[in-house]
């Protein structure tokens, strides 16, 4: 169990209006970032702090996300030239 003091930075990070808005805008570009084919199997479901949560409907797509994680994060973050997402998590 985590202490409340450990959770506060994550909660505040999610509520920063500018960062929250930027993250949502980048998610709208998901298909352009990962490609139409991969986007048909992988959809962003939201984010927790700087971790982008993804829903994957095919095991091969999950493996491709793992292989391309660094590239995808670079493209996501390059939209605003700042680190909006630090990791991808398949849920």
Chain segment 66-75, per-residue pLDDT in tens: 999 999 999 9
Please write the tens of the pLDDT for every residue from 4-20: 767 666 665 555 567 78
Determine the Cα–Cα distance for residues 54 and 91; give it in Å rounded to an integer.
Answer: 6
| Residue 3, pLDDT above cutoff 80 | no
SS (H, E, C) 38-53: HHCCEEEEEEECCEEE
C-alpha distance from residue 73 to each of 4, 5, 52, 67, 69 (Å): 29, 28, 9, 12, 6
Mean pLDDT taken over the chain: 87
Number of domains in the chain: 1
> Residue 17: what pLDDT?
60
CATH number of domain containing 18:
3.30.300
Q: What percent of the chain has pLDDT over 90?
A: 58
State pTM to two decimals. Answer: 0.77
Domain that holds residue 43: 4-90
> Residue 77: what pLDDT?
93
């Amino acid at each position: 169990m985590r202490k409340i003091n450990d959770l506060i930075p994550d909660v505040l990070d999610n509520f920063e209006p500018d960062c929250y808005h930027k993250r949502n805008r980048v998610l709208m570009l998901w298909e352009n970032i990962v490609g139409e084919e991969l986007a048909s199997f992988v959809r962003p479901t939201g984010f927790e702090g700087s971790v982008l949560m993804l829903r994957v409907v095919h095991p091969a797509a999950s493996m491709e996300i793992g292989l391309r994680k660094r590239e995808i994060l670079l493209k996501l973050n390059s939209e605003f030239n700042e680190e909006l997402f630090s990791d991808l998590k398949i849920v």
